[in-house]
Chain A
C-alpha cells in the first residue's frame, strides 16, 4: 500500500492496540477464543515481537527474536508505553497449527505457514485447493479474534479491559493468574 493515505492513523491505532490486546488475552486466557462454530482455538505470541512508541525523532522500536525467548525486552517496552507493531502468531485448533507474522499497520501477512499439504494428489488442483482452504481457515480465526477485540474496544467494556491490561503490563508473569 502507498505511504500516507486516508485512514492511516486509525489503521495504526486499531492494529497496534489489537496486537497488544491479543498478546494480553493469549497470556491471560490461553484458550479464550471460539471460532464461528463455537470450537475453541488458541493464539500464542512467541519467538518474535516488535514494539514501538514515541513520535518523530523520539520514536523507539524494540525487537526480540528467540525461539524460547521470554520476550523480556519487549515486555519492558510495553511498560514504557510502547505497543506491539508486529508479532509472530501461532494459532492452534484441534490438530492444526499455523504461524504468521502479522503487521499492525496494514494487517499484511508475513511468512505465513499452514499445516502440511499433501503433494501427491491425483486431482490437478487438489493441492492448491487444500492450501487455500487452510489459509482461509486461519484468516477466519484471525478475523474472529479481531471482531472480539473490536466489540470490546468500541464498547464501555474497554475501560475495564484497559485496566486489566495495565495490570498485566506492569506485573511479571507470576502474577498473571490474578487476571484470569
Chain B
C-alpha cells in the first residue's frame, strides 16, 4: 500500500492551520510519543501508531530519520486480531450452553441480555490469545513547503483513524482534498460563492 510500490492508492489532504516553524524540529519526538505498541503477547484486539517509513519494525527511528528532503515521511502501523465469525459463533454457543447448565442447577431459567454480552466478550478475549494480530502499513508523506500531505489509503475507516491520530500527535487538523475543498483552494472569492449554490447539470 506504500508510495514506493509500482502502484498505490492514496488520499490527498491539506493542513488547515499554519504549521508553527518550531514543530518541524519536534516531529521526531512526537512520532515516538505516539509510536506503535506491539500487542503480540496480549489479548488486545487492535493497536495502531506511527513507525519508520523505511522499516515497519523500527518504532524508534534508529534506522533512518523521518526527514527526507523537503518531506516528512512516516507510516501508520495498524494491527488487528481477526477471529473468523464462525469460530466466535461456535465458542459463544458452547459458553451459553455451559451457562445454561450452571443456571439449571441453581434453577435460574433466563440468561439476561447483559450477561450474554459479558459472555460474548469473555469468549472473544479468550479466543484472541490464539490469533496473532494482522499487520497493515499505510504511508504518510508530508510536504514541509506546501500544506499538502498524502496518505496511502482510500478506506474511510483507516483514513478517519489516521486523521484523528495525526491531530492528537501534532495538534493540527487535516482536510481531505475533495472536489469542493480543492475548488475552494483554487478559486478566487468571487467564484467560491457560486460553488455553494451549484445545481447539477442535465447534459441530455
Residues of chain B within 8 A (CB-CB) of A170 are 204
A137 within 8 A of B: no
- The answer on a CB contact under 8 Å between A106 and B10 is no
Among the listed A11, A113, A139, A169, which residue makes an inter-chain contact with B178, where contact means beta carbons less than 8 Å apart? A11
A104 to B176, CA, bound (A): 14
A169 to B204, CA, bound (A): 8
- The answer on a CB contact under 8 Å between A18 and B179 is yes
Among the listed A14, A79, A165, which residue makes an inter-chain contact with B198, where contact means beta carbons less than 8 Å apart? A14
Mostly, the B contact residues are mixed
Among the listed B64, B195, B200, which residue makes an inter-chain contact with A154, where contact means beta carbons less than 8 Å apart? B195
Among the listed B178, B181, B182, which residue makes an inter-chain contact with A143, where contact means beta carbons less than 8 Å apart? B182
A113-B7, A150-B183 as given contacts; A7 in contact with B178, CB under 8 Å: yes
Interface residue tally for chain B (C-beta within 8 Å): 43
Residues of chain B within 8 A (CB-CB) of A7 are 178, 180-181
Q: Give the interface size class of chain A.
A: 35 or more
A143 to B14, CA, bound (A): 14
CB within 8 Å: A-B pair count: 126
A131 within 8 A of B: yes
Query: By CB atoms of chain B within 10 A, which of A131, A143, A154, A166 has the most?
Result: A154
A80 to B9, CA, bound (A): 31
- The answer on a CB contact under 8 Å between A128 and B191 is no
Q: Which of B68-76, B91-99, B104-112, B113-121 contacts A (4 or more CB under 8 A)?
A: B68-76
A105 to B141, CA, bound (A): 23
Residues A92-137 near B (CB distance < 8 A)? 99, 103-113, 124-125, 127-129, 131-132, 135-136
A-B contact pairs, 6 of them (CB 8 A): A10-B195, A81-B204, A103-B154, A107-B179, A108-B10, A110-B154
Give 9 new A-B contacts, CB below 8 A, not counting A15-B179, A109-B10, A162-B201: A3-B156, A11-B179, A99-B7, A107-B178, A110-B154, A111-B9, A112-B7, A128-B73, A146-B182
B interface list, Cβ under 8 A from A: 3-4, 6-12, 53, 64, 68-69, 71, 73, 141, 148, 150, 154, 156, 159-160, 176-183, 186-187, 191, 194-196, 198-204
